[in-house]
Amino acid sequence: MKTDTTLVSKFFNPAIITAGFGLDYKPNKNTSINFSPLSYKGTFVPDTLHIDQTKYGVAADKRSKNEPGMSFMITNEFKPVSSVTITNRLQLFTNYINNPQNIDLDWEMIVTAALNWFTDVRFNTHLIFDDDTKTPVFDKEKQPVLGPDGKQKTTARIQFKELLGFSFIFRF
């Protein structure tokens, strides 16, 4: 079986920046609800020599994509027991100009547990769906599916990652 060694991303390729003007409501000290009807999402791919920017919705002749839109974010942190903290952040974004009916979803959950006075363990899950980010399509035999133009088909898919980490804590 042949291994694909095509580089699809690297540090800050792509870099995604979001900013917005709106309201931040905090019903309690652990919850924040942010609504930004005037938002911006920028996708930047500076190294187009090694990275295919079209996989991130950036035009073939560009290095960046600018999206005006609206965002909604909910952040919540709670402690089910004294040594465990669970943080959830859900962010939704829609582009006002291009396919406003399609909503980008970014959900991150972090579970942090204190093992003792100097170490923590952290489990992080991150789910992203952005219809502008395309992944290649393969058949059941793991062969590329080609379109009528002879190019490999791509589609938007859910991206999911998980991370397990250990921290050493120095308090002073």
pLDDT above 90 covers a percentage of the chain that reads: 62
Q: Where are the domains of the chain?
A: 15-168
Q: Which amino acid is at 81?
A: V
> What pLDDT score does 38 carry?
97
DSSP H or E segment with residue 41: strand 31-44
What pLDDT, in 10s, does the model give residues 44-70?
A: 999 988 888 888 888 889 999 999 999
Q: How far apart, in whole angstroms, are the C-alpha atoms of residue 14 and residue 53?
A: 8
> What pLDDT score does 40 carry?
96
> What pLDDT score does 41 carry?
94
Q: What are phi and psi of 130, to 5 degrees?
A: -135, 115
Q: Which parts of the chain register pLDDT below 50?
A: none
At 150, is the secondary structure helix, strand, or coil?
A: coil
At 120, is the secondary structure helix, strand, or coil?
A: strand
pTM recorded for the entire structure? 0.82
> What pLDDT score does 4 carry?
66
Using left for φ > 0, alpha for ψ between -120 and 50, and beta otherwise, residue 12 falls in left
